[in-house]
Structure 1
């Protein structure tokens, strides 16, 4: 008789494997995958918690009113019992006058009506407690929903239309804000190599950033930009006492007539990188160096 082989020891058609599935192995069919972690909307959770706290206070207040109503009803029932006992004693007492027996019966009726009103108050208090508890259950459900619901994604920042102050000046500003440049440091002045003036760069940067922000206001954004920004900074930039004072271009085309584009020369490569795109650290260091 031969020794059993592996084929005899392990049946390949067994439903269960002869070993345990490790924790790191894939879950079996039908098993739910682990939920991915998330961050709930903190403001929604806090608001829901406040609603739960308010609902719990409402339940406590309603239950206190119910307890008081039940106590009042119990007292009214006791008074009815006392009045009925007194009326029965008067009815059996031959010494009592008829008017005394009638008064005792009227007192029973009076106490009975008071008990009925107390019972109605109890019913209303019970309904109020039920309504308060339903409100609490709804508030707790909202809290559970807020805790189990991921916060909405943060709104994306608007994409810049121009990637740098250089592109803004080159493609837009010098084409829409046109003035005659007289040259020789008189009248309107401008420098094609505008980037050599620190003040000019800062003012043009401010004009660009303000334009990027206000362009999103389709109603009055551009009017505000022209009034509060362009019409403020450009006269200063073009002033004979401004950052371009004494600028004289080498060629006639640097002194355009009104309606022609303002003079422009390309800045050194890498001086104004496109901020819409990630900048390599080494490239940025080279540009600054």
Structure 2
């Protein structure tokens, strides 16, 4: 498995991991077990996914069954939007660790740059009478990052980073920190290639992890079922003729082609799947290589910001937050 070396800490992060967003408990258990059996060692989750407890049980069972060591795994979770305050960072990381049944995570990310107020009992966002999220307009990235540095110094997280932050927000943190972010996780796929922010990360020695690298084919139904929010003009990256043509040429699946496109550009990927065959396919990316012509053809699919799928508008009123990144 190819790895990315994380700056400063020199940790090795597997370039392919398993994403677990949108998965229910049974799907998560089966997917994580199948992925580990297939050779995955990088598992990505988040407080907001509501599956950390299932992942924790599954990891423990797999480690015990295979007499494997915790150090063989690279586990990522994320600080939720409701906890984007310095005094909530350690509290919520410890909640995640308790669910994951771990003493530390290998990577802890600030999930989004904007903050919400939350209900103390349910740990879910508060809403006003119009159904809009109650925004915490005093979100302070600098104090928040210092708290992230603190949990890393305490050994609760081996590496820390950002998710969904824009270039200006990353630069601000880099100019006011002791430890630069080791990782930036962003939506990145053939229709949203994020070249500018990737160039910034390369300059700053920040590893990039692509979420929704397959174009998140399940997102449309997820947003409708959970938030009653409909995504318009939903893309079909895997069905694009250029992708399917290249896949036929290599005798690979369209998914393998769009994942190889990113991996070949040193972008880590965390595709989500509950299908065993596709889980195995998604890690089988290292015995073939896209030609220069194929890479250039895929680059032409980039739609810039128009290719964005995850704009967070399903959280009603989020775009009014001063730290909304898009």
Please give the range of the TM-score, normalised by the shorter of the 2 chains: under 0.3
Q: Which has more helix, going by share of residues?
A: 1
Q: Which has more strand, going by share of residues?
A: 2
TM-score by length of 1: 0.17
TM-score by length of 2: 0.15
Which has the larger Rg? 1
